[in-house]
Chains A and B, each alone.
Chain A
Amino acid sequence: MQGTRKIRVLIAKPGLDSHDRGAKVVARALRDAGMEVIYTGLRQTPEQIAETALQEDVDVIGLSILSGAHKALFPRIMELLKQKGLTDVMVFAGGIIPEEDIPELKKLGIKGIFGPGTPTETIIHFMLENVPERT
């Protein structure tokens, strides 16, 4: 029987904070939207995140961060993804990210940034709109 392609998403928590409620809520919502969600737990290094994305061949990476270290960690993650040739993976982020940092992060190639209180439908909609086409 011919299968269909499923959207595979990595939900990762870089850095040292241990607040994973948001990440888990998003992971659950994406699963309920029919996606395959790989959840890797707390305190992931940029290297672990990039390598996991490669092995799992994900279409999308969602980064959740509440520690304030996004300006240090996100550039490193984006750099590693580039090094590994994962330029066709869409990255979005959520958590506590100040408004003034958003332009800088978007310049890095992070497609969407969602603060606290974002309805999960918004994120799902965003993902379905922006998930990269694959040949």
Chain B
Amino acid sequence: MFLREPKAQRCVEKLSKTGEIVQGVLAGDRRSIARAITIIENNTAETQKLNAQIYGHTGKAHIIGLTGPGGSGKSTLIEKIVREYRRRGKTVGVVAVDPTSPFTGGAFLGDRIRMQELSTDQGVFIRSMATRNYLGGIAKATKDAVKVLDAAGKDIVIVETVGAGQSEVEIIKVAQTVVVIHAPGLGDEIQAIKAGLMEIADIFVVNKADRENADKAVMDIQAIMQLNNKEKAWKTPILKTVALTGEGVPQLIEKLEEHKQFLEKEMKHEKSLLRAESELVEALKDQAVNAIIEELKKEGKFEEFLQKILKKEIDPASAAEKLLHRKFKRAASDAET
């Protein structure tokens, strides 16, 4: 019994520490913001407490997602976008996501290289995040890190992700405005369509527009976009930028502002509802799956079925069905008694 007490006390201490960090975040303290994001990344018992306290203070920032293939100039463009926003008196948070190595669990986070001159600007906060092997490409923690920056009072929060395969589709769950960036010479524009990038773009940017085949790239994309745009209230514009010199960046900011206003007028509620729904569904999935697995493990059923799957006695989907059926039947009979 007496073992319990110190543990309870530790809990209280931890809570107040989380509380302090949250207070710091709300006051815009940089150290607290950094710590809060670490707590989110490490996904411990503290994480949920922190997220819960942050959530009520979010919803003010314009959250912009920027995605596109490696080498298209995302980081360089973000640097210029941030500068332009700063010129206009806005504060900016950046979350740059890079992949975790599936083999070693380590990560090389190099997005700051292009943004280092911004690091001493007190109105800018940049954080590099690794995907830490969560499915979906964007670190699961990204969403919550964005909320921390939002709660800390940043006017603009930019999320940068590498667009390859499924990951960039995830970004619509995080960002209000999605900018898809492409560069001529990276390959066929058809690749961009295949990757599902076209549908999610609120603004399409052809970067490195000083290259000779830039106009052709724009025309190709325009041809496809026109079909996509036909029935949409927001017509995805295609802009040209040269991130290295900053050419075209003010125009991009104008479009970003326009889209923000469009959202506020036309579909803020709809989009917020969608986002809230997807977050609730994901949280339910997460917690339900974890709870079920934990219980099955306790009963030894998890291991038992794992072995059966290994021996090819049953396939994984059927195993899941059986396990869940058992579980819910029991839950139902529990409810009856």
Contact = CB atoms under 8 A, between A and B. Distances in A.
Interface stretch (B29-37, B172-180, B189-197, B225-233): B29-37
Nearest to B13: A135
B154 to A, nearest CB: 13
Nearest to B36: A57
A84 B44 CA distance: 26
Interface stretch (A24-32, A100-108, A115-123, A125-133): A24-32
Interface string B116-138: 11011000011110101000000
A84 to B, nearest CB: 7
A37 B38 CA distance: 14
A54 B34 contact: yes
Interface string B259-275: 00000000000000000
A6 B113 contact: no
A37 B127 contact: no
Contacts of B185: none
Q: Is the interface of A mostly helix, strand, loop or mixed?
A: mixed
Say which size band chain A's interface belongs to.
20 to 34
Contacts of B109: 36-39
Contacts, number: 93
Contact of A1 (B110, B128, B130, B290): B290
A14 to B, nearest CB: 12
B43 A37 contact: no
A3 B42 contact: yes
B112 A52 contact: yes
A124 to B, nearest CB: 11
A78 interface: no
Interface stretch (A43-51, A63-71, A90-98): A43-51
Given A32-B106, A45-B120, 9 more contacts: A1-B290, A3-B41, A36-B109, A41-B112, A48-B117, A48-B119, A48-B120, A51-B119, A51-B120
7 contacts: A3-B42, A3-B43, A33-B104, A37-B106, A39-B110, A41-B110, A57-B35
Interface of B: 30-31, 33-35, 37-38, 41-44, 100-101, 104-110, 112-113, 116-117, 119-120, 125-128, 130, 132, 286, 290
Interface of A: 1-6, 8, 27-28, 30-41, 44-45, 47-48, 51-52, 54-57, 84-85
